[in-house]
Every structure is written in structure tokens, then in C-alpha cells.
Chains A and B, each alone.
Chain A
Amino acid sequence: MLRITNLFAKVEEKEILKGLNLTINAGEVHAIMGPNGAGKSTLGNVLSGRDGYEVTDGKIDFNDKDLFALSTEERAREGLFLAFQYPVEIPGVSNMEFLKASVDAKRKHHGQSELSAVEFMKLARETSKRVSLDQAFLKRGVNEGFSGGEKKRNEILQMMLLEPSLCILDETDSGLDIDALQIVANGVNEMRSPERSFIIVTHYQRLLDYIVPDFVHVLANGRIVKTGGKQLALELEEKGYAWLEEEAV
């Protein structure tokens, strides 16, 4: 699914990722934890091709393609999805219109026809139920006036509609109450399948009580410094990151 080899990346002339290696197979859920400033969000942004993130070395294969040869939107259409930590608002553009345009862009890329308005409406309504988002949200502007929890559920709604093969959740749990956290986690669990992989970037082990990962990685100082099973997250909760950072230097 995804193979990252010796990845180096800079943001505003500052080296953030320094030789990161990570392999993710289809169907796996990988949690990435680590101290502030370790490069966790940078990883998601580099994978999705955000402007301002400069890759200086390394290689990424995504579904047997060279990821760097694809534009940001092509990566998305090829099945790479990033759920944002702080989803932005797009005033005046209805959620429905935005979602349909995204789904159609992906379908077109894969040689499928665009969905009719009626077909899409039906799909969107059913999917919004799965994330307990009232249908009224489909008519509102994209994230316009949504609460923090509603924005995150809207992200999961987009993920469900786009059916990506690789989902990256960038601190999706930040600012969520327990109920919203559970809805988000249920959504992710529902989507787990042998063909789909997840990268869950988080600060806290709490989310991993609901979404149980196959692997937990610690990202510190721009590299993966430790990899383990789900029990590693518990260990981190207890001991913090300092002991690993010392090891990493």
C-alpha cells in the first residue's frame, strides 16, 4: 500500500523529517504518536502534497506508484485521504455541492460516470446518518458555523463518501468530547477493511481505546524511533516520550 523510504522534508528551510521509514500494508491501522514538533503533521502534509513542504530526499511508493509524480489532487483521486486537524470553512459553497464535486472528480479519474443529483443526494443522506450528522448540514456552507465536533464528523462523512484506500487522520481527536470521539471512532471502525489502511496521528492514547491499531510508532526528531503493538501506546501514556527522545539522539 505505502512504502516510505528514507524521507527528508523541509518546511520554510527547517528540516522536519530526517530519514523516516515506514511501510504500511493493506488493511493495517498504524498509529503515530510523538511529542510536539516531532513532525507528525508534516508527515500527513507531505503525503498529501501540500504546498510549502519540500521533500529533499527519499521515496514514497503508493499503490505501486511514485507518489511524488502525482499532483495533490491526483493523489486524492488515487485514494489518499487526509482528515484535517482544523477543517477550514468555505462560505457560501454548500456541503452537498462540495461533496458531489469531490466524488465526481474521483469517479471521473477512474473512468466512471458522474453521479446524478438524485443518486448522490440519496448516498449523501444515508452516509450522513452513519456519522449522526443532521441532513441540514448538507445544505449549509462547507464547515460554515459548524462546531468542532461537527467539523470532524463532516471529515469522516467525506472519507466515507470518497472510499479512500489510505486514510490519514491528523489529530482528529483534538477538541472532541467523548460522544463525538465515539462517533468518529465508530465511523473509522466501520470502514476498516482488508483493502483499506489507516494512519492515525494522535497525541493521546484515548483514541486508541476506540480505534485499536495494529502498530504503534513513535515519531521523534523526524524519524520513527520505536515501533510496537497497541500496548506501546499504554506504555507511552505512563512514561511520556522523554526516554525515547534520549534514545533517539
Chain B
Amino acid sequence: MSEQVKQLINQEYAAGFYSDIVSETLPPGLNETVIRFISAKKNEPEWLLEWRLKSYTAWLEMIEPEWAHVKYDDIDFQAVSFYSAPKSMDEKPKSLAEVDPELLRTYEKLGIPLHEQAALAGVAMDVVFDSVSVLTTFREKLFEVGVIFCSISEAVHKYPELVKKYLGSVVPQKDNYYAALNSAVFSDGSFVYIPKGVRCPMELSTYFRINEQNTGQFERTLIIADEGSHVSYLEGCTAPMRDENQLHAAVVELVACDNAVIKYSTVQNWYPGNAEGKGGIYNFVTKRGVCHTNAKISWTQVETGSAITWKYPSCILRGDNSVGEFYSVALTNNYQQADTGTKMIHIGKNTRSTIISKGISAGKSSNAYRGLVRMNPGADGARNYTQCDSLLIGDKCGAHTFPYIESKNPSAIIEHEATTSKVSDDQLFLCKQRGLDAEKAVSMIVNGFCRDVFKELPMEFAVEAGKLLQVSLEGSVG
């Protein structure tokens, strides 16, 4: 093996460092007092505390879902801390100058400069550290055109009518086990409102970071695109390398009013655990959007991290002529497990949905696509096209496809295509014979396989996603 390949293989998860920051962390455990504490910490109105407590009561009676194609030991929710925030955030900083320099250094190390002049051109960023939002950039500039981009905690105070109207409107409190848990204990996340007819002038982005040990992250994101508006939003996430598993249970709700367009992209790079399968994030996430008349929601996800991924970004196509899209690349290596896909619920007439899913399994990992396409009785002329491709690297990994199709309307058209292929020895030999080393060859073949999805990502991130795949695949050949 060449020296270069060895080096590549030994390269570690680059975001795996821990920042030494004094934090206020709740002792592990979950009960009503904890929920009251979180609510009080955020100085929340009474209705929201009630809402949380109702969710908690519901959660207590629910059981953890077991249908996913993943295996893990029972989670001890009493061993998880449900709130952790840097001490320096007690008084929310009003400007960058007031932010703890150690926090800023953390984001610099992650390659995310928070100084507006150094930031990626045209990207406004909300950064969430453990349980709190640290800072949101370009807020004034966005506000000039009426776009609201802030943390959800702030929105609760400043825009209570909007939050009250839409929170839980797409993902109800009792939707599922993890959504109920999130509704009870969510700590922070991003809030976006795009007013009627406005095309958001910048990419909006949230960067989630888990830092503290034994802490779960429960963020809540709510994006409302009012009539005829347009927004593109991207989230990224990383965590330190630890031997223990950590829990991340988020809820994302999107509302696309008539003629609105929301493009939601995710580059998920939570710590995946080590090569022996120790540690890593349990990523149990509920993401859903509702489309009103002529509206469109497009989910694009690149999932390379987490020990376990359980995630189904979905679209409820309520309005006539609305459009849902789901483009996904899910890569698993070593002992990672992913059960991910989407739900497209066609309610309105002439609704259309497209699902392109690319699953890549390497090492001893397991990768499942699970998707539901449902055509309701009123969905005249609705159409769906689904394409699920799996690529296997090596012979110890698994790929599975679980498509559920329910059509209650005879005029609806559903197409489903699925393929499974392997990175062949012949392909590898061709590349090596042309002077490419094995790592480069595999990453090129995998990138080619993912091309249809990468082209849906905003430009800057498509390049990043390609690099991320390369790093995540290290050690999978040779």
C-alpha cells in the first residue's frame, strides 16, 4: 500500500475535537422539573410550557419505534442531559464582539467563519451550540427585505403569533416517539419567515454542534414561506468523537404557502463512531413540510455521519399542483446503520413528486431506503417517480429497499425503479491502470453514482459534499 493511501486511511474525523468551554449542564434525567427548567431558562410564555408538558405526558405513554432496520441497545433517557449551554451565553451576546472567543475559535476550526466579512458570500448563518443559538449573521441585511431569520427561542418572544400558529402544525406533538420527546424538551433551533412575494436574497444556513458529554441535542426548526416567496436553506452538523453514543432528536417543520418554494438541503456529518462501531450519534429526526397550492418543497440530503440515522424528510402535497422532491445520498461505512427515505403524501389534484435515493454501503454497515408514496382519493392526475439505487463496496455490507406504495386514486401514476450495483474490480483496475490510486478511484466512482443528487445542492456545498464522501469512505478499500 502506498504511503499516501495509508495516510488517507489514518486520517480521522476532522470535526471530532472537543472545545473546553464552561457550560451550564443539567444533570442527566428527564422529568417535569427538567421541562419547567428549560422553559423558565428561556423565559417562555405559559402556553408554550403547557404545550411542552402536554407533549411530555403523551411521550410517557408512547413506545419507541422498532420497525426500522437498525439495531442498538435501549436508550436510557435518564442518563441523558437535556440541556447544556455555554455559561457565556447567559446574557445573549448582542454582537460578535460579545461572543466568547473560544466559541468563535470552535467554529473557525470547523471552517465556519462567523465574521460577516469573512463569511461565505451570500450565506447567512445561525449557529447552534449544544442547546442554544449562539449567533445569527446578516440579520439586519435580511430584515431590510422583511426576512426573519433568528433562533426559535427569540421568535417565541418576538413573533409569538407566527410561532403559535405554525409550531406543531406540520409535525403534531404526538406524531411519533421522538417528535413527542422533542416537543417536550426542544431547546433551540432556527426560525425563518419569508414574507409574501419575497425571494430571499441569501442562502440561509444553520450549523449544529454538539459539544458537551452525555448531552442530547433537541433542536426545532420552523420555516414559513408565505405566498409566492422563495427560500433556500442549508443545515450542517458535527460533534466531537466520544466512546458513548449521543442522542440527537430534531424536528423540522416547513410550511410552503400558495406558490412558495422551499429548498432545504442537509449535509449531515455527525460523529459516526469509530472503526469498531464504538460511539457516534443516534440521529432520530422528523422532518416534514406541507405544500399548499402550486407550492414546491425540495429536500436534498447528504448523510455521511451518525452511528444510526432514522430520518424521513417528507412532503404533504395538500394544495393542487404542488410539487415534492427528495434527493438523497446516504453513505454508511464501518458499523454505521441508516434507515432513511421519505414520505410523499399526495392530497391535491395534479400533485407531483420525485424521489431519487442513492445509498452507498461500505465496511460492515447497513443502509436501508424506506419510502412511502400515498395517493389519496382526491389526488386526481397525481404522479410520482421514484428511483432507488444502491452501491455496495466490499462484501460485508448490506443494502435494503422498503418501498411502500398506496394508491387510492385510479388516475394516479406511480413509477418505481431500483438498482443495486457494486464497485467492480474491473472499474477499479481501469482507474489504477490509468494512474489513479484506489482511494481516488473509489471516491470518483461514488461521486459519479451520486451525481444526480449533488447537482441539486447549492454550488458551494456540492463541492463540500464530494469531499465529505471521500473522507467518509477512507479505509473502505485496500
Complex CA–CA separation, A91 to B421 (angstroms): 11
In contact, B429 and A92 (Cβ under 8 angstroms): no
Count of interface residues, chain B, beta-carbon cutoff 8 Å:
24
Binary interface encoding of chain A residues 82-105 relative to chain B, with 1 for a CB under 8 A from any of its CBs, else 0: 101001101111100110011001
In contact, B448 and A102 (Cβ under 8 angstroms): no
Q: Does B68 contact A (CB under 8 A)?
A: no
In contact, A88 and B427 (Cβ under 8 angstroms): yes
Residues of B with C-beta under 8 A to A162: 434-435
Contact (A101, B427) CB under 8 Å given A71-B2, A92-B451, A106-B435: no
CB distance from A152 to the nearest CB of B (A): 14
In contact, B434 and A91 (Cβ under 8 angstroms): no
Chain B residues touching A, majority SS? helix
Complex CA–CA separation, A158 to B429 (angstroms): 15
Residues of B with C-beta under 8 A to A21: none
Residues of A with C-beta under 8 A to B445: 90, 93
Contact (A90, B448) CB under 8 Å given A51-B429, A72-B429, A101-B440: yes
Binary interface encoding of chain B residues 405-433 relative to chain A, with 1 for a CB under 8 A from any of its CBs, else 0: 00000000000000000001111011111
In contact, A90 and B427 (Cβ under 8 angstroms): yes
Contact (A88, B448) CB under 8 Å given A101-B436, A102-B435, A102-B436: no
Residues of A with C-beta under 8 A to B424: 88
Q: Does B274 contact A (CB under 8 A)?
A: no
Contact (A109, B435) CB under 8 Å given A51-B425, A101-B444: yes
Q: Does B385 contact A (CB under 8 A)?
A: no
Residues of A with C-beta under 8 A to B435: 73, 76-77, 102, 105-106, 109, 162
Q: Does B100 contact A (CB under 8 A)?
A: no
CB distance from A91 to the nearest CB of B (A): 6
Complex CA–CA separation, A71 to B448 (angstroms): 25
Residues of A with C-beta under 8 A to B437: 73, 105
In contact, B2 and A91 (Cβ under 8 angstroms): no
Which of chain B's residues 346-405 have a Cβ closer than 8 Å to chain A?
none
Q: Does A50 contact B (CB under 8 A)?
A: yes
Nearest neighbor of A83 in chain B, beta-carbon distance: B433
Residues of B with C-beta under 8 A to A76: 432-435
CB distance from A77 to the nearest CB of B (A): 5
Residues of B with C-beta under 8 A to A19: none
Residues of B with C-beta under 8 A to A35: none
5 A-B pairs with the lowest CB-CB distances in the bound complex, closest first: A92-B448, A93-B448, A105-B435, A102-B434, A76-B435
Can you give 9 contacting A-B residue pairs, CB < 8 Å?
A: A52-B425, A73-B2, A73-B432, A73-B438, A84-B430, A90-B431, A91-B448, A92-B452, A98-B434
6 extra A-B contacts, CB within 8 A, seeds A88-B430, A92-B450: A73-B432, A73-B438, A76-B432, A93-B447, A102-B435, A105-B435
